[in-house]
């Protein structure tokens, strides 16, 4: 019903980072692609198998030091329903290895449709009385533009299945201010969205001071990150934009509370493509990812100190 399971994993590993699994085919080393095509053909099925095998290698290299993965749904839909099968298998594999899985889908809708998304990604669906987990993630990113009608169905599933959500509040992209920074009735759109997260979270409070309704707040806007950390004391942050998009560890640290809690920082490309940046043989892509994950952890931990619960 909250994000406590994630917070415990972060505490145990003393690592408040999540590895984004956004596997464009061009990131996948050739030896993996060739092997996948051999058994599955050089089409969407083969591509999907290649990204799955790429992910499995990354998870094997990271699961003992990184608490969570965040597969981005778009990169799986890109390879059609075969790609979506790879998303399913990736989630299952990461969970089996003990990782917390955040599906980054930014889903949004209302009523029974939002209920369907909540069930699909976090819950169980019934077919003639038997239940199945369609995707089985631990948390889902969502977009709150539609208001409470779009969030309420998620809260129910989170409560029943001990899952969480992250609502977009202040995103990391350059044009995020076009709407999010506008002033509304004495505050800004992103502040209003943040307040709604606090309200929605009241029914999903965890043991460590944070609710099951987290917020996405970009590393690229440190002053807003600081402002929101002060205002939204029960809202856990998922922070994208570290590294590739320009957010530094010093800014990112503003998203944490005094106990080193309250946030998790994402890195996708820098981890997935570490082997390219290092210039090491592609066969070592997973070890290179591990080296980058360790570097990132040290970089962020050097600014926030120890994590307590």
Active site residues: 106
Instruction: Please select the residue that binds its own copies; options are 19, 120, 232, 238, rule is CB under 8 A.
Output: 120
Q: For residues 74 and 230, which CB has a smaller minimum distance to its own copies in the complex? A: 74
Q: Give the nearest distance from C-beta 143 to its own copies in angstroms.
A: 5
Enter the DSSP assignment of 279. Answer: T
Q: Give the nearest distance from C-beta 60 to its own copies in angstroms.
A: 23
Q: For residues 31 and 145, which CB has a smaller minimum distance to its own copies in the complex? A: 145
Rg of the chain over CA atoms, in angstroms?
Answer: 19
158-217 binders of its own copies (CB under 8 A): 168, 171-180, 182-185, 189, 192-193, 196
- Write b or e for each residue in 256-294: b if 16 or more Cβ atoms lie within 10 A of its Cβ, otherwise e: bbeebbbbbbbbbbbbbbbbeeeeeeeebbbbbbbbbbe
Instruction: Please select the residue that binds its own copies; options are 146, 205, 280, 309, rule is CB under 8 A.
Output: 146
Q: Give the nearest distance from C-beta 177 to its own copies in angstroms.
A: 7
36-75 binders of its own copies (CB under 8 A): 37, 42-44, 46-47, 72, 74-75
* Number of DSSP helices (H) and strands (E) in the chain, helices first: 14, 12
Instruction: Please select the residue that binds its own copies; options are 110, 280, 294, 309, rule is CB under 8 A.
Output: 110
Q: Give the nearest distance from C-beta 298 to its own copies in angstroms.
A: 27
Q: What does the block give as tokens for 167?
A: 């609502």
Rounded to whole angstroms, what are the CA distances from 88 to 38, 51, 52, 92, 149? 22, 12, 9, 6, 27
**Rounded distance, CA 241 to CA 15, Å?**
17
Instruction: Please select the residue that binds its own copies; options are 35, 56, 95, 134, rule is CB under 8 A.
Output: 134
Count of Cβ atoms closer than 10 Å to residue 129 Cβ: 5
């Amino acid at each position: 019903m909250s994000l406590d399971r994630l917070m415990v994993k972060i505490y145990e590993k003393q690592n408040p980072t999540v590895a984004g699994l956004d596997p464009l085919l061009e990131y996948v080393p050739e030896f993996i692609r060739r092997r996948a095509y051999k058994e599955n053909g050089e089409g969407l099925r083969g591509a999907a198998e290649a990204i799955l095998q790429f992910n499995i290698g990354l998870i094997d290299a990271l699961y003992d030091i990184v608490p969570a993965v965040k597969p981005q749904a778009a990169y799986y839909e890109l390879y059609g329903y075969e790609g979506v099968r790879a998303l399913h298998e990736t989630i299952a594999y990461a969970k089996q290895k003990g990782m917390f899985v955040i599906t980054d889908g930014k889903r949004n809708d209302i009523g029974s449709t939002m209920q369907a998304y909540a069930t699909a990604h976090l819950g169980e669906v019934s077919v003639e009385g038997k239940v199945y987990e369609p995707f089985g993630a631990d948390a889902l990113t969502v977009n709150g533009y539609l208001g409470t009608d779009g969030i309420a169905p998620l809260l129910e599933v989170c409560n029943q299945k001990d899952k969480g959500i992250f609502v977009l509040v202040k995103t990391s992209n350059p044009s995020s201010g076009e709407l999010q920074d506008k002033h509304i009735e004495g505050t800004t759109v992103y502040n209003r969205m943040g307040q709604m997260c606090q309200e929605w979270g009241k029914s999903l409070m965890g043991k460590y001071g944070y609710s099951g309704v987290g917020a996405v707040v970009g590393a690229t806007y440190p002053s807003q990150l600081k402002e929101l950390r002060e205002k939204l004391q029960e809202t856990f942050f998922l922070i994208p934009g570290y590294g590739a998009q320009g957010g530094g560890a010093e800014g990112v640290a503003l998203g944490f509370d005094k106990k080193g809690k309250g946030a998790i920082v994402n890195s996708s490309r820098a981890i997935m493509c570490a082997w390219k940046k290092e210039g090491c043989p592609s066969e070592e892509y997973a070890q290179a990812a591990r080296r980058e994950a360790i570097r990132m952890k040290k970089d962020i931990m050097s600014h926030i100190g120890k994590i307590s619960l």
